[in-house]
Chain A
Amino acid sequence: MATILETKTAKVPVAAPAKRRRIRSLSAWTVRVLLGIVFSFPLLFMFVSSLKPDAQIFGDLSSIAAFLPVGNLSFENYSAVFDRVPAARFLINSIGISAVTVVLGVLINSLAAFALSRMQLRGKGIILTLIIATLIVPFETLALPLVWWVNQLPWLEVNGFSLSLTTGWLDTYQVQIIPFIANAFSIYLFHQYFESIPKELDEAARVDGAGWFKIYSRIVMPLSGPAIATVSILTFLPAWNSYLWPLMVVQSEELRPVMIGVQYFFQLNVSWGEIMAYSSMITLPVVALFIAFQRSFVNSIATSGVKG
C-alpha cells in the first residue's frame, strides 16, 4: 500500500525496479535460451541423424523428432562409413599429423621464446619484432606459392639401410607437418608468459651450476602449463581441421587426413545418414577435448584477441 502511494508522488519508483529487474532477467534468459537453441540444435540434429536410416531422417524433418533420438536407432551408418571410405586410416593420419605438429610446435616455439625472453642475445628486439610482423600474412595468401616451393624442396628418403635424396615434398606426411611447426603467434604467447616468470629463478639455478637447457626444461617449462595448453589448442585445431592445404598437396589415399574424406560421400549414391555419421565421427573427438579442457580453450581464444 505504502509503495503505491509513493509511486504516485516520488519520481523514482521504489517497487517498479524490482519488478522491472525481474522482467529484464526473464527476457535475458529468453534470449539466452533462444540463442542456445540456434547455436546447438544444428549439431544436435547432426548427431541424432547419424543414428537414423535415411528414410527416417527425412520423415522426422517436419517434427521435433528431427532433434530427438527416437525411432529406429542404430550404428549402421557408422559401419557403412567404414565400407565407403578408409575412415580408420584417415583418423590415424589426422591424429598422427596433429600430435606431431603440436609436440614439435610446443618444443620449437617455446625454445625460441625462451632464448628471446631469458637470454642476452644481440638483436633480439629486432628478431622478435620481425617474427610478430609475419602475423599479418594470412596463410591463404602464401598457400599457392608455397605449393610450388615445397615441390622444389629436397628430402632424405630412408629405405631400410639406404638413404636417398629426393626432390619435392608433394604427397608426403612431412608436407602436412613441417610448414606448420614454427608459428609466430605461439612464440609470442610463450614470450609473454615467460616474461611473467621471475628471472631470479634462473639466476638461482645458474648459481647452482645449471645450464640454459636445464633452466628451460626444469624451471621455465614446468611453470608454463597454461601457455603450453593454449599453444597446444591453437596448434591442434587448425591441424585437425586443415582442408585447403591437404587438398592441394596430398593425392595418395593412404596419406589423407579426415577432412579430405568428405569428398567420398558425393560419389555414387549420396546417403545423408552416412555423411552425418562421418561428420560426427570427426567432430566428436574435438568436442570431447573442448568439454574436458573448456577453460583452456576459452583462454586460448581470449589471448588470440591480442593478435592483430
Chain B
Amino acid sequence: MNTSLAQTTLPNPSHDDPAPAPQQKTSITSRYKSREQRTGWLMLSPAVVLLVLFILIPAVLSFGLAFTNARLISPHPATFVGMDNFARLFTDETFYRSLVNVAYFALIVVPLQGGVALLMAILINTKVRGVTFFRTLYFLPVVTSMVVVSLLWMFIYSKDGLLNEIIAKLSFGALQGADWLNNPSTALPAIMLMSVWQGAGFHMIIWLSGLQTISAELYEAADLDGVSRWQRFRYITWPGLAATRNLILITITIQALSLFTQINVMTQGGPLDATTTLVYQAVRSGFKQQETAYASAISLVFFALVLIISAIQRYLTREKS
C-alpha cells in the first residue's frame, strides 16, 4: 500500500511549484491512515480471535452438535441425526423436573433476593458514621466462593447442624428442625435461602448505584411537605429505580437458570430429582456420560430461555419509557 502510493506521487515531478505540496501531504496522511488501520487491527486482533474461538464458535457448535450424535471421545465421526436429541429431551421426565425446579427457584429467589438487597441498600445509603462497616459485612458472602458457601451451609443444614440447634434453642426445645437437604420438600427451599444469602450483597451494590442517581432535591422537597417514610419510598425511591429494577430482575433470573454449583456440591440433583436443574442435567449427560450432542441440545434450550427472558425484559422497559 505504502509503496504504491509513493510510486503514484513520484513519477509526477512537479513543473509548477504550488501543485505537489498538497499532493504530498495527502500521501503522507493516507500513509499515516493506513498505518493506523494496521496498528489498530493488530491491537484488536488478539481479543477478537479469542472471542471468536471461545464464544462465537462454541455458540455455533452448540447449534450444530445438537443435531448430531457427537460424543466427547469417540472413534467414530459424528453423524447427523436430525431432531433425535430433542425428541429424547422432550420425553425426558428429568428435563421437565429441571424446568419446574428452575422456575420455582426463580419465582422465590428473584423477589426475596431483590427485596433483601434493596432493604440493605436503603439502610446503608446514608452518610451516618459506621455504616460502611455494615456494607462490608453484607458483602462478605459475595467474595466467598459458591463452593465454600455450599460446604458451609451443608454443615449448617445437616440434621444435627447449626440451624437445627438454633431452632431448638430459640423454641426451648419445642420445635425440631428437619433434615433439610435430604427431604425432597425442603431441599430446594434450603438451597434458595442459601443462594439469597450469598448473592444479596452483590445486588445491594447495584441497587445502591441506582439509589444514588435519584436527586437529593426530590427528598428535600418531600421532607418540606412532611411526607411519611412509606410515601417517600412509594413515590420517589421506587419510581426512581425503574431501570435498576429491570436489570436486577434479569440478572437474578439468569442466575437462577444457571443454577449448578450449589446442586453439584450439596445434593447432586437429589433427593428424588427435587433439586435437579438444566445446567446440572447438561453437565451430567455431557461430561459424566460424555454425550456431547445431548448436552448441546439442553444448552440450546437453556440459551433459548435466556433469549426469551431478555426479550421480555426489553419489552417491559420499552413500555415504561
Do B292 and A301 touch (CB < 8 A)? Answer: no
Tell me if B260 and A45 are in contact (CB < 8 A).
no
CA distance A272 to B208 in the complex (A): 37
Tell me whether B43 and A302 are in contact (CB under 8 A): no
Q: Is the Cβ of A115 less than 8 Å from the Cβ of B44?
A: yes
A259–B156 touching, CB < 8 Å: no
A248-B287, A302-B208 known; A146+B54 contact, CB < 8 A: yes
Residues of chain A lying within 8 A (CB to CB) of residue B250: 308
| Contact A182-B54, Cβ < 8 Å, known A301-B205, A302-B209 | yes
Number of cross-chain contacts by CB at 8 Å: 264
Tell me the A251-308 residues at the B interface (CB within 8 Å): 259, 262, 272, 275-276, 279, 282-283, 286-287, 289-291, 294, 297-298, 301-302, 304-305, 307-308
Contact segment of A2-10, A84-92, A136-144, A155-163: A136-144
Which of A35-43, A72-80, A221-229 forms part of the interface with chain B?
A35-43
Q: Provided the pairs A42-B197, A120-B33 are in contact, do residues A144 and B292 lie with their beta carbons within 8 angstroms?
A: yes
Given known A141-B62, A302-B205, contact A58–B55 (CB-CB < 8 A) = no
Q: Which of B134, B143, B208, B226 has most chain A Cβ within 10 Å?
A: B143
Q: How far is the CA of A138 from the CA of B250 in the complex (A)?
A: 12
The CA of A46 and the CA of B134, in the complex, are separated in Å by 19
List B66-124 residues whose CB lies under 8 Å from chain A.
70, 72-73, 119-120, 123-124
- Report the minimum CB–CB distance from A8 to chain B (whole Å): 18
Q: Is A102 at the interface (CB under 8 A from chain B)?
A: no
Q: Which residues of the other chain, A, contact B47 by a CB distance below 8 angstroms?
A: 108-109, 111-112, 131, 182, 187
Give the residue name and chain of the B residue nearest to A36 (CB): B137
Separation of A243 and B280 alpha carbons in the complex (Å): 13
Find the A residue at minimum CB distance from B128. A25
Asked whether, in the complex, the Cβ of B70 is within 8 Å of the Cβ of A148, the reply is yes
Q: Are B138 and A42 in contact, with the CB atoms below 8 A?
A: no
Q: Quick one: CB contact mask for A23-57 with B, threshold 8 Å, 1 for yes? A: 01000100111011011101101100000000000
Residues of A within 8 A of B279 (CB): 140, 143, 244
A45 CA to B154 CA in the complex, in Å?
Answer: 13
A244 CA to B209 CA, complexed, in Å: 30
Chain B residues bordering chain A, tally (CB within 8 A): 96
B72 CB, min distance to chain A CBs, angstroms: 6
B interface footprint on A89-122 (CB within 8 Å = 1, 0 otherwise): 0000000000000000000110110111001111
Q: In this assembly, does B148 line the interface, its C-beta being within 8 Å of a C-beta of chain A?
A: yes
| CB atoms of B286 and A144 under 8 A apart | yes
Interface SS of B by simple majority: helix
Is there contact, CB below 8 Å, between B306 and A119?
no
Evaluate contact between B61 and A305: CB separation under 8 angstroms: no
Distance of B99 from chain A, by nearest CB (Å): 15
Contact string, B119-136, partner A, CB cutoff 8 A, digits 1/0?
Answer: 110011000000100111
B177 to chain A, nearest CB (A): 12
Docked-complex contact A31 and B123, CB < 8 angstroms: yes
Contacting residues, chain B, for A138 (C-beta < 8 A):
254, 257-258, 306
With A109-B47, A140-B260, A308-B250 given, is the CB distance from A62 to B168 under 8 Å? yes
Partner pick for A137 among B59, B206, B229, B287, CB 8 A cutoff: B59
Pick from A38, A144, A289: contact of B299, CB under 8 Å: A144
- Which residues of B line the A interface, CB within 8 A? 33, 36-37, 39-41, 43-44, 46-51, 53-59, 61-62, 65, 70, 72-73, 119-120, 123-124, 131, 134-148, 151-153, 155-156, 160-162, 165, 168-169, 197, 200-202, 205-206, 208-210, 226, 229, 244, 247, 250-251, 254, 257-258, 260-261, 264-265, 279, 282-283, 286-287, 292, 295-296, 298-300, 302-303, 306-307, 310
9 A-B pairs closest in CB distance = A182-B50, A112-B47, A241-B145, A144-B286, A305-B206, A115-B43, A144-B295, A145-B62, A179-B54
Known: A145-B61, A149-B58, A286-B144. 10 other contacts (CB 8 A): A39-B201, A61-B165, A111-B46, A140-B258, A142-B62, A147-B292, A181-B50, A259-B147, A282-B145, A283-B144
